[in-house]
Homo-oligomer: A and B are copies of this chain.
Amino acid sequence: MLLAPETIADFNQQHLDSHRRKLAYWTDEVGAAETIIEKLIAFQIAIPSWALGTGGTRFGRFGGGGEPRNLDEKIADVGLLHALNRSSGAISLHIPWDIPTDPEATRQLAAHYGLRFDAVNSNTFQDQPTGQAHSYKFGSLQHTDAAVRRQAIEHNIEVIRHGVALGSDSLTVWLSDGSCFPGQLNFRKAFDRTLDSLQQIYAALPDAWKLFVEYKAFEPNFYSMTVGDWGSSLLYATKLGPKAYTLVDLGHHLPNANIEQIVAILLHEGKLGGFHFNDSKYGDDDLTAGSIKPYQLFLIFNELVDGMDARGMDHATGLGWMIDASHNVKDPLEDLLQSVDAIQMAYAQALLVDRAALEEARETNDVVQAQELLQDAFRTDVRPLVAEANRRAGGALNPLALFRRQNVRRQLISERGLKTVATGL
């Protein structure tokens, strides 16, 4: 379905008075409002193609209705989100779930919605029902059998080819490789085999491309993961070369990890490549960004803004930004709107931080003042800024409210049916 610009304009018109009042108060009190709004407009978060349907757990999946049935409908869904918030202007594909049969047409369809193609993602953590000679039951790039490794390497190279055809410029490699039991793996050999496989993929990377090495502490392997933490990922990325980077997924850490410090160190090393946003309480829970630990999300953005500025990186394009969540009990599109909203707020709050004062407090070990400065930014209600940025870019003042008022889900169900399953879910 399409959302006519007039629908958005009508909606905004109805809420404009209240919005202007809130915004005016804001701009009166905070000088940096205009700069922040501009940066918010430029900031785009990619939506992964697999996040448009309801996720599940090993215990079951409770699908919603009207889920996209093919790549075109996935693109349409992201287009709808982007029309609403003007901040989801990219889509990240997963191969083989989303192989475009006519890349040029797919590219044009995306362009029609104002979308570009973000990182492409390979999949060697599952066996495909057809056309796969070897099983990944015991790993892919780490596998003891060279034939399995070869198959996984070639799959990654094929993913790059698809990405090139669509105008993507990066490959994300998330490996579930690891072991479930002590003794199962020779850790050294698994490391070496994985590195060798990655090197072959790296060799196939086009010049301007980046390779993102994603790490994860546990699941689906429950004893060891071969790319298990940022230290491992950085080792691989460093040995691979300048086009290889570490990718941080917020849910991929051991309990209590200080993710913002990891982000700062990786940025400082010039090896942070991208981000998968979600939130979690126990493991890779894949909950809506900002739904569990919003202050942590802010602290991460605080490091991102600070670290990117220190290296002169452009916030919008310097790193890959993507949501990676699961929506087991929410409408996937509503969940994504909430996630983008939370990310925009965390970014706006990070931009609000008085960095000169913060550095001064740090230099004098004024811990109380340093905390006050961060919390001043975090406690500020930045919703009017985010709404204004969305509005100026052509989106809705309140994307979620408009989504609901337009009965989007009901329309999608009537178009697509109640029992649909997106590929990859």
Task: Report A's interface with B, CB cutoff 8 A.
Answer: 21-22, 25, 28-29, 55-60, 62, 125-127, 135-138, 144, 176, 179-189, 191, 217-220, 222-224, 228-232, 234-235, 254-258, 260-261, 264-265, 267-269, 280-283, 285, 287-288, 290-296, 299, 303, 306-307, 310, 328-331, 334-335, 338, 345, 358-359, 361-365, 367-368, 370-375, 378-381, 383, 400
Contact = CB atoms under 8 A, between A and B. Distances in A.
Nearest to A290: B375
Contacts of A138: 329, 365, 367
A267 B362 CA distance: 37
21 contacts: A22-B29, A62-B136, A144-B363, A180-B285, A181-B288, A181-B329, A182-B260, A182-B374, A183-B374, A184-B365, A184-B367, A184-B371, A186-B306, A187-B264, A219-B283, A223-B258, A223-B292, A231-B231, A256-B281, A283-B283, A294-B295
Most B CB within 10 A of own CB, among A28, A329, A345, A375: A329
A59 B255 contact: no
B371 A281 contact: no
Nearest to A258: B224
A254 B252 CA distance: 13
A184 B368 CA distance: 8
A362 B25 contact: no
Contacts of A368: 330-331, 334-335, 338, 400
A123 to B, nearest CB: 9
Contact of A219 (B55, B267, B282): B282
Given A219-B57, A223-B281, A180 B329 contact: yes
Nearest to A282: B218
A256 B282 contact: yes
Contacts of A306: 186, 188
A215 to B, nearest CB: 10
A367 B234 CA distance: 29
Nearest to A377: B183
A82 to B, nearest CB: 19
Contacts of A287: 180-181, 222-223
A8 to B, nearest CB: 20
A107 to B, nearest CB: 29
Given A62-B127, A180-B329, A280-B222, A379 B135 contact: no
Contact of A228 (B28, B62, B261): B261
Task: Name the 5 nearest CB pairs between A and B, nearest first.
Answer: A231-B231, A183-B370, A62-B137, A187-B264, A222-B285
A362 B186 contact: yes
A339 to B, nearest CB: 11
